Chain A
Amino acid sequence: MLTPVFSLDRITFYYPGGENLFQDLSLEIDPGDSVCLLGANGSGKSTLLKMFCGLVFPSAGCVRAFGQEITEALLEDSTFARRYHQRVGFIFQNSDAQLFNTRVWDEVAYGPNQLGLPGAEVKARVDDILTMLNLQSLAERSPYRLSGGEKKKVAVAAALVLNPEVLILDEPTNGLDPKTQRWLIELLLQLNSMGRTIITATHNLDLAHAISRRALILSEDHRLVYDGPSAQALEDKSLLMAVNLIEEYSHRHGEQEHKHRYTHG
């Protein structure tokens, strides 16, 4: 039997002074899975992703990663934390927050430098990843002066250069043009076909359909209301409407009334 990459066992989570965000939430993610976490704004997707990454911890219940329990104390052990973060790559919704160096090259080299790789190997890795993602021309530029799509590509390069086993993405296609969306999806599909586990939080149903086999749907009251094949979930209009992922509105053309479905994108 496969050991899940992540397993959440009856977790409860709340921000201090706030109400419970999650209550008795349980789920498992297997190695090589491609999972899409769907939910409207504020449903708790980003918090759940941060929990996988070891940035926030449940108030009750247990989070396991690679077969072992992940606790705040364990992640305070820097040896463990380094290895953990090398295996779990995270791409933030806001690329601006993720890019904190003054040159793209330094941004991508940050992780390999941290690993203590020799200078020549760091250079080789950075050059490899910049070539692979076609970012060579940006190497000397400042990340904060790039366009949204370029920033996202640099953020992906900075995460991929560590060769993580799990790649977690928070709303990766937000604000990207169709060509960059296409590029990102191709990349995610390719990484998944190589055995990498991909977890994506989004409310873009087209993206969910394209990159994931499994969907996890969170309701607006932070409950896991669906865990199953994404194709099936995306067909279930009443479920999608109940969790505020699609909306129906009507308008008139002369005497005739039309109804349309509206999705976030």
Chain B
Amino acid sequence: MAVGVKYSPLRKGNLMELPNWMMEEPQPHTKIEPSVKEKRSNFLLKSMRQMRAVICEDMQTERYARQEGLLQRARPDIKLIVMLALIVGASIIRSIPLLLALWVGTVILMYLSRLPVWVLQKRIWGVIPLITLLFTLPVVLNIFVDGEPLLMIYQWGEVQRWMGITWPPALFVTRQGVTAVFLLFLRVGISLSMGVLLLMTTPAADIFKSLRVLRIPAFFIMIVEMTYRYLFVLLTVSLEMFEARRLRTVGRMPVSGQRAQVGTSIAALFARSMNLSEEVYQAMIARCYTGEVPDSFPEPGGIPDMPAAGADCHNRI
């Protein structure tokens, strides 16, 4: 056995004097009655669930990035440049068929990289592009973009002046307006798809290293990298704090008490993050950090194994 503390059984001389309220007998057979009326949403529980989801999602993304797949085999710096070029390309292209072809390309790449295509498509197209679509929807009307009528909504017959604005004789949806909105919708979705492809097929550390090819200063990359890393440390600590707090939340506090608690939690977390940052800095100094970041080029992730990637594509198709 290794060196350890050897313990002896309980001795009377070591007994602590317990207060009277601790001498009550436990009642393990008493069931806890749930309340019949109280069903309120719980802020603490929801926050904990979301924090766990973020942590799990990060772990899952890292798992996808490290699995075998077409894009996972490519060099991260090349992938970064190509994805950025494609994003710029998608924002310049004015041809809808070409943009659709680009989208189909991203779907195929997701499939060949063994990513959950359907889940990602729902996430990509279901939020940001949809919101963009809703915000830009008025552009389809001829009062914003004049053009060829596609769908007549209302006809006045002559030019109207209302609320200080001159209105055209008819209100209709224009072909040019619909095209503009659809183009924007596609561009947003395709740019997001490219970003997702890059993030889900490249470990976070490799993406940060690859930023060097864009001539971003090493010091800036180091700060971003550490922020990302400690964001998750802070998230984990916050989750544990919330869990600890939930375990001791055994009564209902007045709103003022809850506010005070939130205040103390923020203060405690702040103090802890200050301590942590100080320790991290000391650890950096202990490993020869002098305020300068070495200008080393990122480790290559390996020259893309194109024959193997090709064979994999063939098998998948």
Contact = CB atoms under 8 A, between A and B. Distances in A.
B272 interface: yes
Nearest to A94: B240
Contacts of B96: none
Contact of A114 (B17, B53, B251, B271): B251
A43 interface: no
Nearest to A93: B240
B19 A129 contact: yes
A120 interface: no
B4 A132 contact: no
Nearest to B265: A100
A262 B1 CA distance: 6
B47 to A, nearest CB: 13
Contact of B60 (A16, A194, A204): A16
Nearest to A247: B2
Contact of B32 (A66, A92, A128, A144): A66
B10 A186 contact: yes
A205 B22 contact: no
Interface stretch (A72-80, A217-225, A250-258): A72-80
A88 B29 CA distance: 14
Nearest to A193: B10
Contact of B250 (A94, A111, A205): A111
A76 to B, nearest CB: 6
A128 B39 CA distance: 36
B39 A77 contact: yes
A125 to B, nearest CB: 7
Interface string A242-265: 000010000000000000011101
Interface stretch (B153-161, B200-208, B241-249): B241-249
Given A144-B272, A189-B9, A263-B4, A79 B35 contact: yes
Contact of B10 (A53, A67, A129, A190): A190
A68 B34 CA distance: 11
Interface in A53-90: 53, 55, 66-68, 74, 76-90
A40 interface: no
A162 interface: yes
B8 to A, nearest CB: 8
B244 A85 contact: no
A31 B19 contact: no
B263 to A, nearest CB: 9
Contacts of A178: 5
Contact of B6 (A99, A143, A206): A206
A125 B237 contact: no
Nearest to B64: A17
A265 B32 contact: no
A85 B250 contact: yes
A106 interface: yes
Interface in B138-156: none
Interface string B35-79: 100111010010000000100110110010000000000000000
A193 B18 CA distance: 12
Given A3-B28, A17-B60, A106 B1 contact: no
Contact of B1 (A82, A92, A263): A263
Q: By CB atoms of chain A within 10 A, which of B16, B53, B251 has the most?
A: B251
Given A101-B268, A210-B7, A80 B248 contact: no
Contact of A163 (B14, B24, B271): B24
A96 interface: yes
A115 B225 CA distance: 43
A256 B11 CA distance: 43
Contacts of B244: 90, 92, 97-100
A179 B59 CA distance: 39
B252 interface: yes
A28 to B, nearest CB: 12
A77 B4 contact: no
A74 B33 CA distance: 10
A111 B56 CA distance: 30
A181 B268 CA distance: 26
B248 A158 contact: yes
Given A106-B264, A113-B251, A162-B250, A100 B5 contact: no
A118 interface: no
10 contacts: A2-B28, A15-B56, A17-B56, A77-B39, A82-B252, A94-B237, A100-B244, A162-B248, A207-B7, A210-B7
Interface of A: 2-3, 5, 15-18, 31-32, 50, 53, 55, 66-68, 74, 76-90, 92, 94, 96-102, 106, 110-111, 113-116, 125, 128-129, 132-133, 142-144, 158-160, 162-163, 165, 178, 181-182, 185-187, 189-190, 193-197, 204-207, 209-211, 246, 261-263, 265
Given A114-B252, A186-B16, 12 more contacts: A15-B56, A16-B60, A66-B32, A77-B38, A79-B35, A92-B240, A97-B243, A128-B21, A132-B17, A144-B271, A197-B26, A263-B4
Nearest first, the 3 closest Cβ-Cβ pairs linking A and B are A97-B240, A210-B7, A17-B60
